[in-house]
């Protein structure tokens, strides 16, 4: 569990503390020096760093040659950097990693939310959050590289205080409205059609 003070001081202010905590729980690590290096779909074994300097050295060694995830948010090292020397110690420092990681995740949430039509209900946000976590792990959403894509902007007004997993999310009282998981299946079958989640959870 993240220290509430760390969230207050370092997390992106556009995200509620509960969303930050659930994001790190779902996609991050409790170890600020945690590294995951992949190349060609295979995990590369690297020495376990014993200090921030060692961790940053490993990141700089593999950045640009492999996919490197680092820190408590498992931030994709190298995004926005033209050269390994531009990678800063913030990547392996808890506050710095949480700051850049949550700022990037907020952008991913905005990208996914816009694709869904910026719905406002808690049930819809549960699906958006789930898709954003998947996009964070894979770097892609509907063929778009979410880390390099332009930020669509806008406020994330629909954030609940707690994300209910979409599998157990409440459905609308209106029988004509499919549940969020059903709409997710429709999206997978036809990625070219935007799915309107704006009415889910409405009475």
For the segment 127-183, what is each residue's pLDDT rounded down to a tens digit? Answer: 999 999 999 999 999 999 999 999 999 888 778 877 765 543 333 333 333 333 333
Mean pLDDT throughout 102-107? 97
CA atoms of 43 and 37, how far apart (whole Å): 6
Say whether both 109 and 151 belong to one domain: yes
8 Å CB contact between 148 and 139: no
Confirm whether 12 is domain-assigned: no
Identify the sign of the CA torsion 36, 111, 115, 171. positive
**Per the structure block, which two tokens stand in for 113?**
């939310």
Q: Are residues 104 and 137 in the same domain?
A: yes
Same domain, 80 and 104: no
| Per-residue pLDDT at 113 | 95
Domain endpoint, select from 42, 62, 92: 92
Say what the pLDDT of residue 185 is: 37
* pLDDT score, position 161: 76
Pairing of strands 144-145, 140-141: antiparallel
**In this structure, are 103 and 159 located in the same domain?**
yes
Q: Is residue 15 part of a domain?
A: no
For residues 67 and 108, state if they share a domain: no
Question: What is the pLDDT at residue 178?
Answer: 30
Same domain? 76 vs 121: no
pLDDT digit string, tens, across residues 39-64: 988 999 999 999 999 999 999 999 88
CA distances from 138 to 41, 141, 158, 164 (A): 11, 8, 24, 22
Structurally, the chain folds into a number of domains equal to 2
Residue 13 forms part of a structural domain: no
In this structure, the answer to whether residues 145 and 87 fall within a common structural domain is no
What's the domain range around 114? 96-165
Residues 87 and 102 in one domain: no
Q: Are residue 38 and residue 75 in the same domain, yes or no?
A: yes
Helix ranges (DSSP H) in 71-121: 94-115
Q: pTM of the full predicted structure?
A: 0.78
Rounded-to-integer distance, Cα 202 and Cα 174, Å: 9
What's the farthest any 2 CA atoms get from each other in the chain? 57
* 161: in domain: yes
How does pLDDT run across 58-104, given as a tens digit for each residue?
Answer: 999 998 889 999 999 999 998 866 677 778 899 999 999 999 999 99
200 belongs to a structural domain? no
185 lies in some domain: no
Is 68 within the bounds of a domain? yes
Q: Does one domain contain both 151 and 126?
A: yes
In a domain, 117, yes or no: yes
């Amino acid at each position: 569990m993240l220290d509430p003070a760390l969230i207050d001081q370092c997390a992106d202010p556009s995200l509620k503390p509960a969303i930050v905590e659930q994001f790190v729980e779902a996609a991050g690590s409790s170890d600020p020096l945690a590294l995951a290096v992949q190349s060609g779909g295979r995990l590369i074994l690297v020495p376990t760093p014993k200090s921030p300097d060692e961790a940053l050295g490993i990141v700089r060694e593999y950045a640009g040659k492999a996919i490197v995830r680092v820190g408590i948010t498992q931030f994709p090292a190298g995004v926005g950097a033209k050269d390994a020397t531009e990678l800063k110690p913030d990547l392996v420092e808890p506050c710095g990693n949480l700051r850049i990681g949550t700022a990037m995740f907020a952008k991913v949430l905005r990208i996914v939310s816009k694709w869904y039509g910026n719905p406002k209900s808690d049930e819809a946000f549960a699906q958006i959050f789930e898709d954003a976590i998947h996009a964070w792990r894979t770097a892609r959403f509907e063929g778009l590289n979410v880390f390099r894509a332009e930020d669509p902007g806008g406020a994330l007004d629909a954030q609940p205080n707690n994300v209910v997993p979409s599998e157990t999310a409440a459905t609308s009282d209106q029988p004509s409205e499919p549940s969020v998981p059903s709409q997710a299946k429709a999206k997978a079958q036809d990625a070219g059609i935007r799915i309107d989640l704006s009415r889910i959870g409405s009475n």
